[in-house]
Amino acid sequence: MDITLRSPLDMHLHLREGDMLDLTVPMSAQHFAGAVIMPNLVVPVDSLHHLKNYRQAIESYCHQEDFRPYMTLFFKTYSRQELEECGTHILGIKLYPAGITTQSEAGVSDFSAIEETLVHLQELKIPLLVHGESDGFVLDRERQFLDVYRSLASRFPDLHIVMEHITTADAVALLDEFDNLSATVTLHHLMITLDDVMGDLLRPDLFCKPVAKTPRDRNALRQAVFSGHPKIMFGSDSAPHPRHKKECIGCAAGVFSAPVALPLLAQIFEDAGELDLLQGFVSTIACQRYGITPPDKKVRLTQAPWQVPSYYNDVSPFFAGQMIRWSVQSAP
């Protein structure tokens, strides 16, 4: 059995920088027509000059693949002129609460001070992408942040706000309260719970932020995705870290899912009896919510089992060493 996906998109992707691009870019460029690139580098991507240089670096590793990096800027106080100059070069602005995840120390610490930039974003029709967590107890962080989403969505009704990598049943329910809210959901949050991370031996390669939640939360995500929710898009949040960053005191957060994203999505959609909804989840809904037209690229998935390598260089992928029923190959 084969299926062909048209212009599959990864709406939340960490490619990192430097030598890591040699691993991450070709992998995603082969499987996807485009991806939304996160800006939380060691030095955040918060200027047009830095953004252009980063995009050029990414494109240099695409190796003739038809792949469009949809760039984002790291949220800070921007003037209207700055945003107008960046407008045609970005898909959105990414907001991180300060210190809440990897390389987010320069994020927002005072939400009362961001009003003017939000006004500009709304007027210029630039989407706001948000890592929605508080600094409270780790399992409550996303739920506690939902009131921030409610405030933003009600005060800026014409601003497209994307709740990135949602993990809770409460976040799914919030989507139906406001027309201007969308969300991304990751592969790993559709598959694992906190029990997989630390219920037996601690598995650092499954440690991510937001952390995996309860079976109830996972079931709510799966029910929404497998019913074709019209405001939920696929975003892998694939976030590679070398071994010395994972097997250490102060383990880095991030799941490297790029190599297995499409095959495992095909597998879990097939298991749910909803394989016909995969196209919407990985492309159509994102195109509609963002108003984008990605490269016309076809990617064929076939039922050919393969074993996921334990490592790509020194990065361990999601499902390392396990068998997957589906494989990906580019279609003409």
DSSP E strands in 21-150: the ranges are 34-37, 68-74, 92-95, 128-130
Set 205, 217, 237, 296: catalytic member: 237
Q: Tell me if 278 sits within 8 A of 48, measured CB to CB.
A: no
Q: Tell me if 224 sits within 8 A of 196, measured CB to CB.
A: no
Catalytic (active site) residue 237: yes
| DSSP structural state of residue 232 | E
Cα distance from N-terminal residue to C-terminal residue, the chain: 17
C-alpha 313/C-alpha 225 separation (Å) is 32
| DSSP structural state of residue 311 | -
Write phi, then psi, for 229 (nearest 5 degrees): -50, 130
C-alpha 139/C-alpha 132 separation (Å) is 13
C-alpha 38/C-alpha 67 separation (Å) is 16
Element (H, E) at 287: helix 285-290
Indicate which residues carry an active-site annotation: 237
